Structure 1
């Protein structure tokens, strides 16, 4: 496995990652991001990656609406294609996205449209050497649980899963069971702590200072033959600035003890 971190799409981030001994960066070009600016920055990002030896392991897009009751949203599809182009140029093996749920449609109709959307992405990305995965976050996405995976991933054997235990925990699901049953489809994993008190999310502290059973989770990943990225996601409401830097260092030290 390889350890990296989610970062802003800036060339300087590669040197920062190298100084920490990290092997890759992940870029999230979410709804509201300037896609044109990101696309324009790709040559500089590629140069920084080549100079430092720090790779790009994932390019993703969270939060956007990809389907409506009228069908696939063409504008969003084209944005996904542009981001896949960027991933291919950067030598990045993964593109990550989700698909929103349309309340006016049945679950079957939503699943059918999600399959159509992912199928278009897979066809486009596979020709460029990029794999497509659905994220297990619920942000404008219903393809985040075993029922959706059974239907959609069951129909699309090439579709992977970007997995984050915290999302499963906050949704009241069993992340260890999901990893056991679906770990063979994991293409990218987020490392983010989670704390639940009285049934409610409290904070996302550094991994290792939370309630996730990281040792068992890592054991399941090894058991499923997972050998891809572990991407640190600083996502706390508390751990910022100097404290945030110390938290990232703690997570790096903690997770590295379980990497062989």
Structure 2
């Protein structure tokens, strides 16, 4: 497994990743972000990647609507996702992560079939580009986030992967170890984000390794399923004071390197 981090598109991100002994960066081009502007920076990103020896491990797009109220795919959003698959391919990045919104005006069945159509088009587009397409288990503008939906959507699309983050299962009453055991063979990418609950209520998202997640057991479960892809640290605004934020990321990087038995 490779250890990386979600970061902004700037040279400093590559410098800090190298200092922390990480292997890759992950970029998120979310709703409200300029996809074309990101794609225009492809050559600069490739140059930094080569200069610092840091790969691009994953590119994702969160919080965008893909399906309209009639159950039709939003053509402009499909085009944006295809552009991001293109740049992932050009950067030799093998992971593209995306979700699908739930339309309240439609039945659960209609939502699932619309999601299958959307992901199916992305899978067809990525087929010859050496890029894997994954859903994410975050709940933000996305309903394909837990086993009962995976059984339908991923059951119909055997090539569709899952980007998994144990914190989302924990915050919404799921069993992250069971989900990883049952579905780890479909995981293409994993986020490392801390989670703290008291009496079942979310309190904070501390740096991963300083939280309640049983990370040694989680990684052991991933190994048991044959997982050997990216582990991406997700820095979050937590109860740590701002002046300790960077130290918190350093802690997570050191913590997971030890769990991975890396120097």
Instruction: Tell me the TM-score normalised to structure 1 length.
Output: 0.97
| Structure 2: distance between partners of 1:182 and 1:94 | 17
- Retained in 2: the 8 A contact 1:24–1:55? yes
Partner residue in 2 for 1:65: 65
Q: Is 1:244 paired with 2:245?
A: yes
State the Cα deviation string for residues 3-34 of structure 1 (Å, max 9, x = none). 10000122332122112211000000000112
Partner residue in 2 for 1:31: 31
Matched ranges for 1:93-104 at <5 A = 93-104=94-105
- RMSD (Å) for aligned C-alpha atoms: 1.1
Matched ranges for 1:178-193 at <5 A = 178-193=179-194
- Retained in 1: the 8 A contact 2:25–2:56? yes
55-64 vs 66-75, which deviates more?
Answer: 66-75
State the Cα deviation string for residues 13-70 of structure 1 (Å, max 9, x = none). 2122112211000000000112121111111001110111100010000000001232
Matched ranges for 1:4-15 at <5 A = 4-15=4-15
For residues 239 and 87 of structure 1, do their structure 2 counterparts lie closer, same or farther at Cα, with a shift above 3 Å needed? farther
Instruction: Tell me the TM-score normalised to structure 2 length.
Output: 0.96
Unaligned runs of 5+ in 2: none
| Structure 1: distance between partners of 2:83 and 2:156 | 25
- Retained in 1: the 8 A contact 2:207–2:238? no
Unaligned runs of 5+ in 1: none
| Structure 2: distance between partners of 1:8 and 1:206 | 18
| Structure 2: distance between partners of 1:223 and 1:167 | 21
State the Cα deviation string for residues 208-248 of structure 1 (Å, max 9, x = none). 21111111101101101111111000113333643111111
Partner residue in 1 for 2:156: 155
| Structure 2: distance between partners of 1:79 and 1:228 | 25
Number of residues of Structure 1 aligned to a counterpart in Structure 2: 260
- Retained in 2: the 8 A contact 1:11–1:44? no
**4+ aligned runs moved over 4 Å, structure 1:** none
Partner residue in 2 for 1:2: 2
Partner residue in 1 for 2:214: 213
